[in-house]
């Protein structure tokens, strides 16, 4: 049975040389064109070209470090500013370039914070974690890609109709619509109907005094006063549930804002 032994690297230069000699550890077809490429922000560990003719900035660390991302972005910026010059420096190694620049970060691990930040980086970014191991007296750099979580769109606020359509019962939906109209009629010129993510709000000059939360078979009508979101909360399923007394209480909350 093969014995696997983990090897500690002495420094980043050792890791750099391993990749320089065998770039396929990172990616098939990756061609290293320079080590320690000089830039205004310091030397770029490795500069490469991939199979799609993209220029690739490679930054290496032998310990987890959030600085790796900032460093790589500085090098990325330098490559953008000096793109044509870099292309002309290596005519024997670069036939053509696509016009795109990628970033590869290589480290034993990446922090939770860096992984969260990475999903908002505009250039193509690859996070590659590694273990340097010895198997049957052969030293191997075992690399694996850390999947970057995709970004999520900012939730859009629902419209009033979205809230109403959430009610499955037709009669309750009509009743909710009538309730909205009656509250609006308290002062048609001044009362604004606001659709938020989880409720339909009623406000006067930006200040909320009532809200409705819809459910499949009923809805809640709640009064709001001085930051208290549930001064009066009534479950409404039938017409008899929305009494004149409830409407008067909503009107009273509105009057306190005027």
CATH class of domain segment(s) 4-146: alpha beta
CB 97, CB 79: distance < 8 Å:
no
Class (C level, CATH) for 160-257: alpha beta
Sorting pLDDT into bands at 50, 70 and 90, what band is 152?
A: confident
pLDDT in tens, 88-122: 998 888 878 888 999 999 999 999 999 999 999 98
Q: How confident is the model at residue 226 (pLDDT cuts 50, 70, 90)?
A: low
Identify the residue whose tokens are 């032998």: 62
Q: What is the 3-state secondary structure (H, E, C) of the chain?
A: CCCEEECCCCCHHHHHHHHHHCHHHCCCCCEEEEEEECCCCCCEEEEEECCCCCEEEEEECCCCCCHHHHHHHHHHHHHHHCHHHHHHHCCCCCCCCCCCEEEEEEECCCCHHHHHHHCCCCCCEEEEEEEEEEECCEEEEEEEEECCCCCCCCCCCCCHHHHHHCCCCHHHHHHHHHHHHHHHCCCCCCEEEEECCCCEEEEECCEEEEEEEECCCCEEEEECECCECCCCEEEECCHHHCCHHHHHHHHHHHHHHC
Closest CA to 80 of 60, 58, 102, 65: 102
Tokens encoding 163 = 């809230």
- Which tokens is 150 given? 């995709």
Residues in Cβ contact with 143 at an 8 Å cutoff, skipping those fewer than 6 apart: 25, 26, 106, 128, 129, 130
Distance CA 210, CA 201 (A): 6
Residue 229 pLDDT exceeds 60: no
Per-residue pLDDT tens over the stretch 38-74: 999 899 999 999 999 999 999 999 999 999 999 999 9
- Would you list the domain boundaries of the chain? 4-146, 160-257
Rounded to whole angstroms, the Cα distance separating 193 from 203 reads: 7
Whether residue 8 is predicted with pLDDT greater than 90 in this model: the reply is no
Residue recorded with tokens 């992984």 = 115
Distance CA 48, CA 34 (A): 7
Q: Dihedral (C-alpha) 18, 21, 27, 33: value to the nearest 10 degrees?
A: 120
Question: According to the model, what pLDDT value does residue 227 have?
Answer: 55
Q: What is the pTM of this model?
A: 0.63
Q: What is the pLDDT of residue 16?
A: 96
Residue with the two structure tokens 């006063």: 225
């Amino acid at each position: 049975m093969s014995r696997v032994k983990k090897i500690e690297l002495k420094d980043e230069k050792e890791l750099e040389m391993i990749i320089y000699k065998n770039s396929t550890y990172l990616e098939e077809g990756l061609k290293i064109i320079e080590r320690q490429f000089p830039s205004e922000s310091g030397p770029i560990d490795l500069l490469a070209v991939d199979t799609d003719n993209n220029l690739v900035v490679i930054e290496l660390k032998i310990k987890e470090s959030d600085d790796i991302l900032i460093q790589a972005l500085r090098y990325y910026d330098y490559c953008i500013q000096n793109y044509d010059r870099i292309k002309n420096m290596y005519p024997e190694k670069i036939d053509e370039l696509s016009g795109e620049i990628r970033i590869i970060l290589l480290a034993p691990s990446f922090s939770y914070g860096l992984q969260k930040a990475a999903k908002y980086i505009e250039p193509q970014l690859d996070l590659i974690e590694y273990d340097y191991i010895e198997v049957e007296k052969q030293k191997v750099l075992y690399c694996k890609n850390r999947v970057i979580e995709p970004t999520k769109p900012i939730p859009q606020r629902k419209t009033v109709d979205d809230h109403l359509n959430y009610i499955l019962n037709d009669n309750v939906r009509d009743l909710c619509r009538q309730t909205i109209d009656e509250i609006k009629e308290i002062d048609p010129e001044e009362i604004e109907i606001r659709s938020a993510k989880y409720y339909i709000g009623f406000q006067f000059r930006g200040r909320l005094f009532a809200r409705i939360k819809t459910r499949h078979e009923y809805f809640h009508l709640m009064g709001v006063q001085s930051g208290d979101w549930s001064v009066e909360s009534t479950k409404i399923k039938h017409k008899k549930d929305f009494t004149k007394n409830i409407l008067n209480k909503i009107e009273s909350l509105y009057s306190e804002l005027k």
